[in-house]
Amino acid sequence: MSRGRSALVASSLLVAGLLTFPGAVPNGGVRLGSLLETFLPWLGLAIPVLIVLACLRRSVIVWSAFLVPVVAWLAQFGGLLPLQPGAGYDLTVVQHNVSDENADPSGTARKLLKANADLIALEELTSSSRPTIGAVLAPDYPHHVVVGTVGLWSKLPLTDARRVDIKPKAVGEGWDRGMRVTAKTEHGDIAVYVAHLPSVRLSPSAGFRSAWRDESAALLGMAIVAERLEKVILLGDLNSTVDDRGLSPLTSQLDPPRTGLAFSWPARFPLARIDQIMTRTATATHIWSLPPTTSDHLPIAAHIRL
Question: How many CB atoms are located within 10 Å of the residue 248 CB?
Answer: 15
pTM of the predicted model as reported, rounded to 2 decimal places: 0.88
Q: State whether 54 and 116 are in the same domain.
A: no
Q: State whether 62 and 100 are in the same domain.
A: no
Q: Is residue 46 part of a domain?
A: yes
Domain extent for 54: 3-80
Q: State whether 15 and 153 are in the same domain.
A: no
Q: What is the pLDDT of residues 40-54, one digit of tens each?
A: 888 888 877 776 766
Residue 2 has a pLDDT of: 62
Peptide bond connecting 266 to the previous residue in cis, omega within 30 degrees of 0: yes
Q: What is the pLDDT of residues 129-159, one digit of tens each?
A: 999 999 999 999 999 999 999 999 999 999 9
d(CA 87, CA 186): 19
The more confident residue out of 16 and 299 is 299
Contact between 157 and 190 (Cβ < 8 Å): no
Q: What is the pLDDT of residues 106-128, one digit of tens each?
A: 999 999 999 999 999 999 999 99
Q: State whether 72 and 105 are in the same domain.
A: no
Contact between 5 and 59 (Cβ < 8 Å): yes
| Residue 261's CATH number | 3.60.10.10
How is the beta sheet containing 188-196 ordered, strand by strand? 158-163, 178-185, 188-196, 232-237, 275-280
Q: State whether 47 and 180 are in the same domain.
A: no
